[in-house]
Amino acid sequence: MTAAPHVEAPITEPDAALRPESGSGHLRLDALTKQFRGRTGTVTAVDRVDLDVLPGEFITLLGPSGCGKTTTLRMVAGFEQATGGEILIDGKTIGHLSPQRRPMAMVFQSYALFPHMTVAENIAYGLRLQRGQRSKDEIATAMRMAVTSMNLVGLEERSPHELSGGQQQRVALARALVVQPKVLLFDEPLSNLDAKLRNAMRAEIRRIQKMFGITSIYVTHDQDEAMSMSDRIVVMNKGKVEQVARPGEIYGRPTSVFVADFIGQANFVEAAPERIQDGVATLTVLGRQLTVAAHPSVATGANGAVLMIRPETVRLTPVTSGGNGTVLRSTFHGPSLDYEIETVAGTITATEQGGDPSEALAEGASVDLTFDADRAYLLPRD
């Protein structure tokens, strides 16, 4: 017999019993280090990472493959033993504790649901491991609260294979939340979903996290996920932390060319500042003198400086003569129209939001290229 369809409804406000204790969940990493020894020598996967995560904060570890973000998460969870440094929760060291003894829960990339168990049994699994700490009635009550809070009522007796990807994600979240962890860990939990469902689940996970007020560490290589979900982003590269900041600061004021290039799209133009005063540099780009914000480490006349220009800040004006750029090609993306412009400073990408492809500038057209200097940023060369 086919199971009755499940009608989606908004996730309800959780019972207070499912919330972590107020003010708890302060996670701190002090010089956390992980080294792996192999035939060719020792590789440092995580290099003295310092991080202070406040109670209830949503932090994303972001970076390319091999940057150390997943290894950092696994050390926090207890699945990897740190080579050096400390992990503390609410001021207490937990590095010596096994994973099951740490006040945490993890939502995995594959959801890790038990196929032979029902939804209810999957959710209650973590509670049953705490059987010595909770009575049967307490386990049943907590499970019902989780099912209700996560909008899984009516699905309790279904098997994981009878659920949609989004419903499986909710079960995995319910199983993690029902044990009342101080810290919730996410290991790329949306990578198996299609683009449309992934976008919906981003908002849902963030809404749930705020609703429960639980400290969360989220690992992803997806920039859009990090930008749309995080209180702060930790950008990692080669085992080190490049920058820790709010999404807007990461995007508009990156601390390095690596961060600027990894977060979104960016143009980089060689520039030698003529004057720097109070964090503002004067320089000449494409024949025009500009004043732009500058990174503190950029010095006057430095040949190693590069100007970051985001494509959406570039403006193109068609001209018959006297232009400073030539259209190489245009690409229509639906919400935007992207141009590649040849200039004396190299190829510049410009994005026109809502551009009409039928009115796109022709290949070879001359343009006058300008950009919003207030949104540009002068960086030292990596």
Structure confidence by residue, pLDDT tens digits, 255-293: 999 999 999 999 999 988 999 999 999 999 998 899 999
Question: Amino acid identity, residue 5?
Answer: P
CA distance 345 to 261: 17
Q: Which residue has the tokens 């004396």?
A: 344
197-235 per-position pLDDT tens digit:
888 888 888 888 888 899 999 999 999 999 999 999 999
- Asked whether residue 171 carries a pLDDT value surpassing 80, the answer given is yes
Give the mean model confidence (pLDDT) for residues 73-98: 96
Q: Give residue 355's pLDDT.
A: 79
Give the mean model confidence (pLDDT) for residues 136-144: 79
Lowest model confidence (mean pLDDT) among 87-91, 109-113, 134-138, 210-214:
134-138
Q: Kindly state the DSSP code that residue 47 receives in the 8-state scheme.
A: E
Q: What band does 132 get if pLDDT is binned at 50, 70 and 90?
A: low
Report the SS3 class of residue 197. helix
H-helix or E-strand spanning residue 70: helix 69-77
H-helix or E-strand spanning residue 149: helix 136-149
Mean pLDDT score of the chain, rounded to an integer? 88
Lowest model confidence (mean pLDDT) among 31-35, 80-84, 199-203, 358-362:
199-203
- Asked whether residue 137 carries a pLDDT value surpassing 70, the answer given is yes
Q: Give residue 10's pLDDT.
A: 47
Secondary structure (DSSP) of 216-269: EEEEES-HHHHHHH-SEEEEEETTEEEEEE-HHHHHHS-SSHHHHHHSS--EEE
Q: What band does 82 get if pLDDT is binned at 50, 70 and 90?
A: very high
CATH number, domain 16-252: 3.40.50.300
Q: Give residue 97's pLDDT.
A: 94
Q: What band does 179 get if pLDDT is binned at 50, 70 and 90?
A: confident
- How much is the pTM? 0.87
Domains 16-252 and 273-380 fall in the same CATH topology:
no
- Asked whether residue 12 carries a pLDDT value surpassing 70, the answer given is no
The angle that helices 195-212 and 165-177 make with each other, rounded to 10 degrees, is 20
Q: What is the CA radius of gyration of the chain?
A: 25
Q: Give residue 299's pLDDT.
A: 81
Lowest model confidence (mean pLDDT) among 97-101, 218-222, 225-229, 352-356:
352-356
- Asked whether residue 113 carries a pLDDT value surpassing 60, the answer given is yes
Q: Kindly report the CA angle at 57 between 54 and 58, in degrees rounded to 5? A: 140
Domain definitions of the chain by residue range: 16-252, 273-380
Report the SS3 class of residue 82. coil
The CATH number fitting domain 273-380, selected from 2.40.50.140, 3.40.50.300, 1.20.120.1200, 1.10.3720.10: 2.40.50.140
Q: Kindly report the CA angle at 73 between 48 and 213, in degrees rounded to 5? A: 115
Q: Give residue 381's pLDDT.
A: 86
User: Which of the pair, 311 or 39, is modelled with greater confidence?
Assistant: 311
For 267-309, the three-class secondary structure string (H helix, E strand, C coil) is: EEEECCCCEEECCEEEEEECCEEEEEEECCCCCCCCCCEEEEE
User: Which of the pair, 4 or 50, is modelled with greater confidence?
Assistant: 50
Give the mean model confidence (pLDDT) for residues 28-50: 94
Q: What band does 334 get if pLDDT is binned at 50, 70 and 90?
A: confident
